[in-house]
Amino acid sequence: MDAFEPLTGPPTRFRAAWHGLGNQLRHPTGVVGRLLGLVMNRLNALPNQAAVEALAPRPGDTVLELGSGPGHGVALAMAAVGPAGIVHGVDQSAVMLRQAARLNRQSRHRGQLHLHLGRFDTLPLPAGSVDGILAVNVAYFWHHSVGILREARRVLRPGGRLAVYVTDAATMRRWPFARTGTHRLFTPTELTAMLRGGGFPDESISIRSVSLGHGIRGLIATAENPRPVGLCDEGAAPEANI
């Protein structure tokens, strides 16, 4: 599905403020953005952990986080890929990149973490250069998801995996900032449809519902970048030449 129509709620007295918060979550700036970064590193710890577990990067892998925000997700990804691995974070917010750089100073100095100021629709990485992509709390802003997912598949190697976390629509509808047009909301069916529309094969898509406590439910989706027809599965013996 593309050109998604965002959910807009009834006008409330505080609508402008909630809309401002929704916009800050989409693109944190200034003092408010800095404060939100501190809050996100705490509140989004569980979703980040669940998404990294679902992606299950292997030691030595190269992982890209779309919307690395204040840097908790890239820190977890670094721990998973170990000293031989590489992690890239891409974010459009300079404020978030500075926070992520501070949080992950050592990995950056070792040359294992690369933080890029950029946008999801033009990723600053070569084709097929990434084993896994993390996208935690960012798909809400994919109102035109087809181009973003096409770009994600371009940088993923064949057989590489994507893990997406979103808080589910039923929970998000309770939060006023998510009802002012900034956020796209997802049921499991809608999340599946978005990934399918972005070129991930149906049979590779898996959606799991997770409880984060306090009545908050999240969705973790994983999907695999198709391999070109004729490529051997990893580990499978190549066919003998006759």
Ligand X SMILES: C[S@@+](CC[C@H](N)C(=O)[O-])C[C@H]1O[C@@H](n2cnc3c(N)ncnc32)[C@H](O)[C@@H]1O
Q: CB-wise, 18 or 120, nearer to ligand X?
A: 120
Per rule CB under 6 A, is residue 218 in the interface with ligand X? no
CB of 92 to ligand X, least distance (A): 4
Of 136, 139, 207, 216, the one binding ligand X by CB under 6 A: 136
Per rule CB under 6 A, is residue 138 in the interface with ligand X? yes
Per rule CB under 6 A, is residue 112 in the interface with ligand X? no
CB of 228 to ligand X, least distance (A): 28
Of 73, 85, 132, 160, the one binding ligand X by CB under 6 A: 73
**Which H/E stretch holds residue 96?**
helix 94-103
Of 18, 21, 22, 44, the one binding ligand X by CB under 6 A: 44
CB of 87 to ligand X, least distance (A): 13
Match 């992606």 to its residue by tokens: 55
Identity of residue 143: H
Q: At what angle do helices 145-155 and 188-197 cross, to 10 degrees?
A: 60
Of 52, 63, 80, 93, the one binding ligand X by CB under 6 A: 93
- Could you list the beta-strand ranges (E) of 12-150: 62-66, 86-91, 113-117, 130-136
Say if CB 163 and CB 51 are below 8 A apart. yes
Give the burial class of 10: count Cβ atoms within 10 A of its Cβ; 0-12 exposed, 13-18 middle, 19 or more buried: exposed
Per rule CB under 6 A, is residue 107 in the interface with ligand X? no
**Which H/E stretch holds residue 153?**
helix 145-155
Chain residues 176-205 in contact with ligand X, contact rule CB under 6 A: none
How many Å apart are CA 136 and CA 215, to the nearest integer? 19
Binding site for ligand X (CB under 6 A): 25-28, 40, 44, 48, 67, 69, 72-73, 90-93, 96, 119-120, 136-138, 141
